[in-house]
């Protein structure tokens, strides 16, 4: 569970950094458990739902992706979100607008299917639930890539260019800043590396605390981020938005009920960390 695997390009965290941040995550996890639900909590409110379109990001026809369509319910809400995706990246706001305000993203890689389906499932679920605070969900960060079941968006890996203005992932950062979100979680699927259900933290205490909690609550392996300035997790964290990245094991371009469930549980653990749901 707490093992760390190192690889891929980018700057490797050293052994001491990993031990330090894992220890910090663990410490805050136990403090949180000991405090229980005694923390300040406002009354959960009836969930208002709004759909906005991030028009700076090109839209796409999600119905062309048969794998996504095979798994989602064809209900009015999902139809509306998919229709919105033809005009840009849909941004669904759930909750009153009050703190805590968090953002969930999926589809940074368009062929990583389970999180995109899980994000729709989460929106449908939260729409019927009283929540504390506000959740912004972007189920398709790059609708064009999702429609093509493609990892790349216009030959770009969007998780390497988030620091470049004008890219969809940079537009996500700008939107998160505009909405003053306190924390963000970016959801992926993996078939090569790390190729297992995992939660990845940036080398900061704020990020490791969240990741350690998700690791404990969703049985996802805890890993340290291999620093690359263009990942969404790095770009957000360096802009003071504590961010984690979650991976679910699934072959590219495909989903299964099991992988969708794992991704969905990672999302719920992230929301529980912030006491948005119980």
Interaction site with Zn ion (CB under 5 A): 109, 112, 188
Q: Give the integer Cα–Cα distance in Å for 248 and 256.
A: 11
Strands 89-95 and 221-224: unpaired
The least CB distance from residue 242 to Zn ion, in Å, is 20
- Nearer Cβ to Zn ion, position 116 or 215? 116
- Nearer Cβ to Zn ion, position 101 or 109? 109
Q: Which two tokens stand for residue 72?
A: 């989602």
The least CB distance from residue 218 to Zn ion, in Å, is 17
CB-closest chain residue to Zn ion: 188
Q: Give the integer Cα–Cα distance in Å for 265 and 260.
A: 9
Omega within 30 of 0 (cis) for the link into 194: yes
- Nearer Cβ to Zn ion, position 24 or 224? 224
- Nearer Cβ to Zn ion, position 116 or 218? 116
Look at residues 203, 183, 197 and name the one whose alpha carbon lies nearest to residue 25: 203
Report the chain's terminal Cα–Cα distance, integer Å: 24
Tell me if residue 110 falls in helix, strand or coil: coil
The least CB distance from residue 34 to Zn ion, in Å, is 35
The least CB distance from residue 115 to Zn ion, in Å, is 9
């Amino acid at each position: 569970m707490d093992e760390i695997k190192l690889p891929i390009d980018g700057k490797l965290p050293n052994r001491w950094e990993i031990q330090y941040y894992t220890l910090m995550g663990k410490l805050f996890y136990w403090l949180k458990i000991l405090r229980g639900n005694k923390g300040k909590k406002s009354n959960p409110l009836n969930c208002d739902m709004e759909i906005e379109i991030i028009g700076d990001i090109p839209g796409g026809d999600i119905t062309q992706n048969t794998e996504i369509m095979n798994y989602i319910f064809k209900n009015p809400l999902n139809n509306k979100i998919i229709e919105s995706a033809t005009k840009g990246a849909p941004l669904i706001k759930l909750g009153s607008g009050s703190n805590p305000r968090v953002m969930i993203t999926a589809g940074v890689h368009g062929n990583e299917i389970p999180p995109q389906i899980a994000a729709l499932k989460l929106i449908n679920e939260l729409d019927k639930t009283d929540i504390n605070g506000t959740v912004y969900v972007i189920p398709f960060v790059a609708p064009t890539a999702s429609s093509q079941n493609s990892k790349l968006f216009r030959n770009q890996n969007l998780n390497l260019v988030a620091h470049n203005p004008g890219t969809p992932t940079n537009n996500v950062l700008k939107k998160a800043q505009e909405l003053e979100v306190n924390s963000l979680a970016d959801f992926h699927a993996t078939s090569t590396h790390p190729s297992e259900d995992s939660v990845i933290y940036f080398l900061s205490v704020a990020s490791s605390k969240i990741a350690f909690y998700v690791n404990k609550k969703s049985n996802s392996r805890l890993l340290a981020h291999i620093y690359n300035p263009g990942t969404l997790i790095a770009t957000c964290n360096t802009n003071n938005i504590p961010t984690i990245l979650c991976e679910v094991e699934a072959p590219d371009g495909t989903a299964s009920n099991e992988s969708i469930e794992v991704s969905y549980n990672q999302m719920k653990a992230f929301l529980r960390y912030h006491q948005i749901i119980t």
